[in-house]
Amino acid sequence: MPSKFRCIRCGGEYEPGSVFNCECGGLLEVVHEPMRWGRHVVDSRLCPMGVPYSSGVWRYKELIHPGLAAGMIVTRPEGNTNIYTRKVVSNYAGVEKLSMKHEGENPTGSFKDRGMTVAVSEAVRQKAKAVACASTGNTSASMAAYAAQAGLRGVVFIPEGEISYGKLSQALAYGSKVVQVPGSFDDAMRIVQEASRELGFYLLNSINPWRVEGQKTIIFELLHQRAWVPPDWIVVPAGNLGNTSAFGKALSELVELGWVEKVPRIASIQAEGAAPFYKMWKGGCSSLEALKPETVASAIKIGNPVSWEKAIRVIRETDGVVDVVSDAEIMEAKAIVDGSGVGCEPASAASVAGVRKLVSKGVIKPDEDVVCVLTGNILKDSDATIGYHTGKLKGVTPGRANAPTRIDAGAMSASLRRILSQ
Ligand code: F0G
């Protein structure tokens, strides 16, 4: 039996195509045929040479796209990201057993590659000619790279002036058509859905359930690396809520397979100025109210996340929590993660800032085992990093600034000697 799409609201089933909402309006998810084999299969794939199983995504092929022919897989390969522990970061967050899974180590510098390899491969299977996405930057960088590799036309819609130069430069360089939309990510999201319907682009945002399938492998790989021993908490930055949704789906599938016994609690962390999901969860509301987003963490500057309905289930099912952190807290946590030598982009640091906050509230206990997901590479948003260290970031007083020093002449001088001996 091939994989199907199923509505999370009414249970209606569909052949996988390019429509991602049920007739009743509910979101669709992928359901696979029940599995009949054990974890020795993925264990044996841990160190293979060559694609596709050397990919930290396709190693779990039977759990993400079992029916796909190997020849259709478009892979770099991706995944195989490291887990770091750093004393300064755990001291800062207030938990002894804190680790960081660094998804910024993916080929284009963010976790998006995990979902993109699956969804672009599916686009190839569907014989799509063009693929499209709206993006705060990372999705567009990733999609542009995979579209180039697959020989597909790529069209990305970005909020004008709102995405970092690093990410914009990737989309341009990999050759996608970049459309700058006046307004926010949410406006770009609306337009890309219209354009895809009208012009037949295969939509590659995380509303596409295949993206979610790929992103599940963050959890599969994390637990595999930990010999299938789950932590107490997994903490993730939350924007459009694709990851939160994917993490919950991955965990419930692993429990169903009997590969793990305990489900970690998921904490989704939003930026204070872009926190519609937090407001919904906190207020106990049954639907999400869109808002105008504002945050220095441009990757998660989203006011109307498309996957909220999947994500809220995950928070409920994992006994999870949603919280918010301010821009100042995000940038301070980033300075700590950067200063530990690990480094990440601003949105990623929301996870570490979130742990610190949840520890201070007594929600996370200092002796619990916590994994933060760092979603993007330190080089992704150098403007924010330099802005912080030079004190030019709006609304943020840098407590840990490390500004460059200018000297008057290219030679040793008394003043330079003084600076260097400090
Ligand atoms: N962290 C980074 C670095 C991101 O780029 C994103 C999302 C998120 C966190 C939030 O993840 O949407 O699954 O809750 N970036 C999207 C983009 C929106 O267009 O690149 P989410």
- Ligand 1 nearest-atom number relative to CA 237: 9
What pLDDT score was predicted for residue 410?
84
Q: Which atom of ligand 1 is nearest to the CA of 142?
A: 20
Nearest residue to 376 (alpha-carbon basis) of 139, 188, 121? 139
Ligand 1 binding site (Cβ under 6 Å of any ligand atom): 110, 112, 135-139, 206, 237-244, 299-300, 345, 347-348, 375-376
Report the atom number in ligand 1 closest to the C-alpha of 245. 13
pLDDT at residue 47, as a whole number = 66
Which pLDDT value is given to residue 422? 83
CA 230, CA 207: separation in Å to the nearest integer?
27
228-248 burial by CB neighbour count: b if 16+ within 10 A, else e? eebbbbbbbbbbbbbbbbbbb
How many Å lie between the centroid of ligand 1 and the Cα of residue 275?
Answer: 14
Q: What is the mean pLDDT of the chain?
A: 96
Residues facing 31 on adjacent strands: 4
47 C-alpha vs ligand 1 centroid, how far in Å?
A: 29
Q: Could you tell me where the DSSP H helices lie in 264-381?
A: 276-282, 308-317, 327-339, 346-360
Alpha carbon 413 to its chain's center: 48
From atom 10 of ligand 1, which residue's Cα is the shortest distance away? 239
The band of 1, judged by pLDDT with boundaries at 50, 70 and 90, is low
pLDDT at 262 over 90: yes
Report the percent of the chain where pLDDT is more than 70: 99
Look at residues 368, 369, 333, 370 and name the one whose alpha carbon lies nearest to residue 350: 333
Average pLDDT over residues 269-294: 97
Question: Of 155, 244, 375, which is best to mutate to test ligand 1, by the most ligand atoms within 8 angstroms of its C-beta?
Answer: 375
Spatial CA neighbour of 18 closest among 96, 146, 122, 136: 122
Q: 318-342: per-residue pLDDT in tens?
A: 999 999 999 999 999 999 999 999 9
The minimum-distance atom of ligand 1 relative to the CA of 133 is 19
Question: Cβ distance 107 to 160 under 8 Å?
Answer: no
